[in-house]
């Protein structure tokens, strides 16, 4: 009996150990799920945040059975098809939304002869599946029909704006709905090259401004001509990438010190809203040795949401249309969800595709519950669905109380509802002074309207009382005076 009890307790002990082991193992697995997600607070501190995205799949040439990707440099998504520009193999690989191979474009017929790409760097696919390839090695842009027939070619553009002997080396391209082509070419500092639909060069647009410090100016002034000729030329920086949104606004990125994301209007002016706590340029806390983020790709989604890719630390930053940082994910490393040398990002629906150039693979990221809620909240706020965005932002805050701009969304919904005092609290949380002031003015008016009659009545009554009292005193005093006079008399 005693023996069996002992035996049973031993089993119990083993079972208990097992349970404990599973529990601790479970938490360990959770901790290993990827780099910690974060966001920046109003004060510029990193605040922990739940992960908005998780890596779920890897796609590479081997598991598509088409041979490994070699230095792929660009990726495009359109109407449920994914186009991967496999630069090293001079081909475009087309996948469907289930990541199954559809076909490969590696050649086209030009004037009856077979022609191929040579180290192409940029790719753009329009919604009606016209493919544009920046065929960098061949110094041209190739335009293919949906059925892979050649529809046009842009080669050495002619214009008085271009210098003699100009070598057209397109690196990235985008095409708008009117089929105007915007090309980013190597060694061009005047902005994007704009081509009309038939392929003639029309103009440059949206050049970066030259940044020039007073110190440089001073040294230029005091130095001799010979010294000056040895100095660095102050040329505007080149863009690093571009994307175009549904309304044909072009978003460009560049690799300067600051002002690295721009939304260009037709005149080439920057109209990106930067109302967030920090300019939308990736990491704002970094060691001087590491330096700021280097943004090399941008992807514009619906509702003015856009994401940028930092090649220095391999992170993807996503901002809403106002410029508030929504979430950060990714990183450099060897785990799933980390990269070696990320080159391009693209969204397929709400999922992210990140192309790694060195490893030749695509990482697929899918939203977590948190990411989904936040995306929906921002989207419904953008669409003016106040009630829904109010509820969704409430839900996001329950999952991440550090997300300060979400309080702003709630505050604006409350303001619209007329709950001013409550709205003020939320604007205070999100440090939004203009909206706080707006809510406060309405609240003050409300309070005054409520109490002003009572207040005014009291003051008036008191004034009348004081007046009467004075009168009475005067009459009484007068009497006293009279009586003393009488006595004197």
Sheet with 295-300, side-by-side order of all strands: 295-300, 306-310, 315-319, 325-330
- Between 19 and 421, name the residue whose CB sits nearer to other proteins: 421
By CB under 8 A, tell whether 20 contacts other proteins: no
- Between 401 and 481, name the residue whose CB sits nearer to other proteins: 401
Per CB under 8 A, the list member of 196, 433, 457, 484 interacting with other proteins is 433
Long-range contacts of 129-133 (CB under 8 A, 24+ apart): 129/78, 129/79, 129/81, 130/175, 130/179, 131/83, 131/92, 131/105, 132/173, 132/175, 132/181, 133/85, 133/92, 133/173
Number of amino acids touching other proteins (CB under 8 A):
10
Q: Which of residues 413-432 bind other proteins (CB under 8 A)?
A: 428, 431
Q: Residue 424 Cβ, how far from other proteins at the closest point, in Å?
A: 8
Per CB under 8 A, the list member of 444, 470, 476, 479 interacting with other proteins is 444
CA angle, 305 then 208 then 317, to 5°: 25
By CB under 8 A, tell whether 449 contacts other proteins: no
Residues in the chain: 489
Interatomic CA distance for residues 435 and 449, integer angstroms: 21
Q: Which of residues 28-47 bind other proteins (CB under 8 A)?
A: 43
By CB under 8 A, tell whether 446 contacts other proteins: no
Q: Which of residues 70-109 bind other proteins (CB under 8 A)?
A: none
Q: Which of residues 220-279 bind other proteins (CB under 8 A)?
A: none
Structure-block tokens of residue 278: 């920090």
What are the Cα distances from residue 27, in Å, to 14, 15, 21, 49? 20, 19, 10, 17
Q: Backbone phi, then psi, for 402, in 5-degree steps? A: -80, -5
Nearest CA to 436 out of 467, 466, 415 is that of: 415
By CB under 8 A, tell whether 119 contacts other proteins: no
Q: Residue 47 Cβ, how far from other proteins at the closest point, in Å?
A: 12
Q: Residue 432 Cβ, how far from other proteins at the closest point, in Å?
A: 10
- Between 166 and 440, name the residue whose CB sits nearer to other proteins: 440
By CB under 8 A, tell whether 434 contacts other proteins: yes
DSSP element (H, E) containing 294: none
Q: Residue 448 Cβ, how far from other proteins at the closest point, in Å?
A: 11
By CB under 8 A, tell whether 441 contacts other proteins: yes
By CB under 8 A, tell whether 130 contacts other proteins: no
Structure-block tokens of residue 249: 């606004």
Residues found near other proteins in the complex (CB under 8 A):
43, 428, 431, 433-434, 436-437, 440-441, 444
């Amino acid at each position: 009996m005693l023996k069996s009890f002992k035996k049973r307790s031993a089993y119990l002990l083993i079972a208990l150990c097992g349970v404990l082991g599973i529990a601790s193992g479970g938490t360990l697995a959770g901790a290993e799920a990827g780099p910690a997600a974060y966001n920046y607070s109003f004060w510029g501190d990193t605040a922990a945040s739940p992960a908005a995205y998780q890596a779920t799949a890897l796609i590479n040439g081997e598991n598509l059975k088409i041979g490994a990707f070699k230095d792929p440099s660009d990726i495009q998504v359109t109407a449920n098809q994914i186009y991967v520009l496999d630069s090293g193999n001079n081909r475009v690989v087309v996948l469907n939304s289930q990541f199954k191979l559809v076909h490969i474009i590696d050649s086209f017929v030009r004037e009856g002869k077979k022609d191929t790409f040579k180290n192409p760097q940029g790719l753009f696919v329009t919604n009606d599946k016209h493919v544009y390839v920046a065929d960098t090695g061949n110094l041209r842009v190739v335009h293919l029909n949906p059925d892979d027939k050649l529809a046009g070619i842009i080669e050495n553009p002619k214009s008085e704006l271009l210098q003699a002997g100009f070598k057209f080396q397109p690196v990235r391209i985008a095409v708008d709905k009117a089929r105007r082509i915007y090309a980013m070419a190597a060694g061009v500092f005047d902005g994007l090259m704009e081509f009309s639909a038939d392929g003639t060069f029309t103009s440059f647009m949206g050049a970066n401004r030259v940044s020039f410090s007073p110190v440089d100016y001073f040294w230029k002034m005091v130095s001799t001509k010979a010294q000056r000729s040895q100095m660095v030329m102050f040329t505007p920086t080149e863009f690093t990438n571009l994307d175009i949104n549904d309304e044909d606004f072009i978003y460009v990125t560049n690799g300067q010190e600051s002002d690295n994301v721009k939304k260009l209007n037709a005149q080439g002016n920057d109209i990106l809203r930067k109302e967030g706590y920090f300019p939308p340029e990736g990491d704002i806390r970094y060691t001087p040795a590491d330096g700021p983020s280097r943004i090399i790709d941008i992807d514009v989604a619906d509702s003015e949401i856009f994401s940028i890719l930092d090649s220095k630390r391999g992170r993807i930053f996503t901002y809403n249309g106002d410029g508030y940082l929504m979430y950060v994910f990714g990183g450099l490393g060897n785990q799933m969800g980390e990269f070696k040398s990320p080159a391009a990002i693209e969204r397929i629906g709400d999922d992210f595709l990140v192309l790694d150039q060195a490893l030749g693979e695509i990482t697929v990221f899918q939203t977590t519950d948190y990411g989904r809620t936040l995306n929906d909240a921002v989207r419904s706020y953008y669409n003016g669905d106040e009630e829904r965005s109010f509820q969704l932002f409430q839900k996001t805050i329950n999952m991440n109380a550090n997300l300060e701009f979400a309080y702003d969304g709630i505050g604006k919904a409350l303001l619209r509802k007329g709950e001013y005092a409550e709205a003020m609290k939320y604007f205070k949380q999100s440090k939004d002074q203009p909206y706080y002031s707006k809510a406060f003015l309405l609240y003050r008016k409300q309070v005054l309207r409520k109490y002003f009659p009572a207040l005014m009545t009291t003051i008036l009554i008191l004034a009348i009382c004081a007046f009467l009292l004075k009168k009475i005193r005067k009459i009484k005093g007068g009497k006293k005076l009279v009586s003393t006079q009488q006595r004197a008399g």
